[in-house]
Structure 1
Amino acid sequence: MKNLNKHTSTDLPIYQLYIHPFDVSEMKKDIWCDDPVPAKLTIEKKKLNVDISYRGSHIRKLKKKSYHLRFIKPAMYRNSKEMHLNAEFKDPSLIRNKLSLDFFSDIGVLSPRSRHVFIKINGKNEGVYLELESVDENFLTSRQLPSGAIFYAVDGDANFSLISDLDKEVKKSLDLGYEKKVGLEQDEYYLQEMIFQVNSILRADFEKEIEKYINVDKYLRWLSGVVFTQNYDGFVHNYALYRNGETGQFEMIPWDYDATWGRDVNGKYMNEDYVRILGFNTLTARILDVDPFRKKYKALLEQIMNHQFTVEYMKPLIYELTSQIRPHVLMDPYEKGNIDQFDKEPEFIIRYIKARTKYLKSKLYKLD
């Protein structure tokens, strides 16, 4: 999806959706139904036939809905089969998700591209949305990456453990918590084998053996991104797994990062010490138990704190994004009444960066 660039333009693309009133009523009747309805989408005078449904879990209850679109005719648009449109309704800045995904990309993590767009449904303003690139085979080909399997972490059982995060019982299957997006049946075996090995490799052998299954450098970069942005759910959820078909190693891909930069899933203030420097989940604990890996993680944190996670680096990006979408926020029926808070969010995020940096520096000794 090459049009979803990190760099912003002076205006937002306008996406016009046309859905039959009967189908609108059907969607509203059962917000938990994943069955799509037909719609027409117009982007820059190009007309597309699509299927549309609500997306997300708890966010479906909110006034401003998020949507999943699948292209029907043509079946591909901008090298993609589908489109995710996030309302970002609980984030008063509307930029945290994009800010996070771009940050991950900047520190060397595979990350979806995104851009803000303005949605109209049946001629009525629906507001500012974040269009997210789908993590699928096209995600790989657009980056000239080897083909491989992609799994979505769909619930807390994607915790790299033999024990369920949901009921605290031994898992009946090691691929619980994952949904295969791309891949073959044998890739499910590779996923289960990786999770088994994460839990069963002897401590003395872990440093050498784990590299057969996990790209540790990429994992530590991903871990750094989660720790800096402070996405509490990111350790057992809010990610995808990519198994590189050439190396056989798994890599992490972030997803849904609106509850970050000092605010939680409800948009409430989150203390800068909420997520510990050591992170969470079984794989993280085992990797950081290895002295060379832990030292590498510390060096990575220090490097990022000196370059990307700084006010000097982030402030222009924050203000560029908010300046770009502000005129459209004033036309958003769900957001325009909160413009005063929207205007305060850039400084809120900057204060968070300062406070989080101070906290993490005070905890670096734990990695010695």
Structure 2
Amino acid sequence: MQTVYNVKLPHAVYGGENSIDNITTILKDHQVKRVAMFTDKGIHDSGLFDLPEAAVKAAGADYYVLDEIPPEPSYIAVQNIVDHFKAIGADMIIACGGGSVLDAAKLASVLVTDEYGVKELLDEPGRAKKCVPTILIPTTAGTGAEVTPNAIVAVPEKELKVGIINENMIANYVILDARMIKNLPRPIAAATGVDALAHAIECYTSKKANPFSDTFAMEALDLILNNIIPACDDPEAMEAKNKMQIAAFYAGIAITASGTTAVHALSYPLGGKYHIAHGVSNAILLAPVMRFNAPVCQERFAQAYDRCCHDTDTICQTTNEKAEWLIEQLERIVRHLEIPTSLKEFGVQPEDLDGLVEAGMQVQRLLVNNMRLVTAEDARNLYLEIL
């Protein structure tokens, strides 16, 4: 565990019933004249976009909608969006969507300048400076992108996803309104929810774990383990959905305070080369990586059991039993939510292993956080396990 640590957070976070309405006050307080509204076609067409749009209209601000953001975009696609954004001359960004939308908006907020673009930030993320304030509104309970300083983009030439990290991309304002996730399709709710689950358990077992990250990671883990299934299964389970949205936010703070580990590191090539959704690739790897880590993480797994197991019929006594309970819960949740547990249906072949291992081992910024050393042979065995 780290002995020196910090966490950087948005200026303000609004949650609870009708929290979207705070947009109007924020825009008026900042005397905003023109807003760039980032979203995607699915959100726009579903009617969810109507809520923030109405709040912007109530503030009397002009606005321009950018909804051509593809899922899991490449840095080239994001640069195209940024170029459109720069032409608008907006003095506030409002982003309403999943991780891809929020990440694109965060990058746009530091890319008004012509001195550098997204490609340059892949190599020098530290040069980015906040140019336009942001309001981020997640429409999934998963990525935590609304609170992190990270933006993930695909790099096609490397068949890999890369994280651009700069604290200037932390949102000025975050709005957590459970209405935005009420009608989220079950497969998306499941995949993004398990992404948040991975954030929580990875950050809690990271080499960079610290009192700040532990506080948020453990609360997120407790909320997710006990709410993800009803939140995904029942469209009317608004209390569970609200708890999942808060949990995803807490797990995002945990990322900011410590960092994810081998699950995310080994999942990036799966998204970069095979275009497997980020949450799905994390779900496939989650239990196998945690079993791999168990020899050095048992104590932490046992602490998670003590906090998160509220079933009075389940009584585990030993550290080993408690650790096994946690890993079994991860497996049970992924199975129940009908997320794939194998790469077969995505066309991954045994002959692809060398490329996967090579790409996965490149993600050293996350692998170095893993409590147990991951060698190339370990990575190969983990990929073999999910083929």
Give yes or no for TM over 0.5: no
Give the TM-score, by structure 2 length.
0.27
Richer in strand (by share): 1
Richer in helix (by share): 2
Give the TM-score, by structure 1 length.
0.28
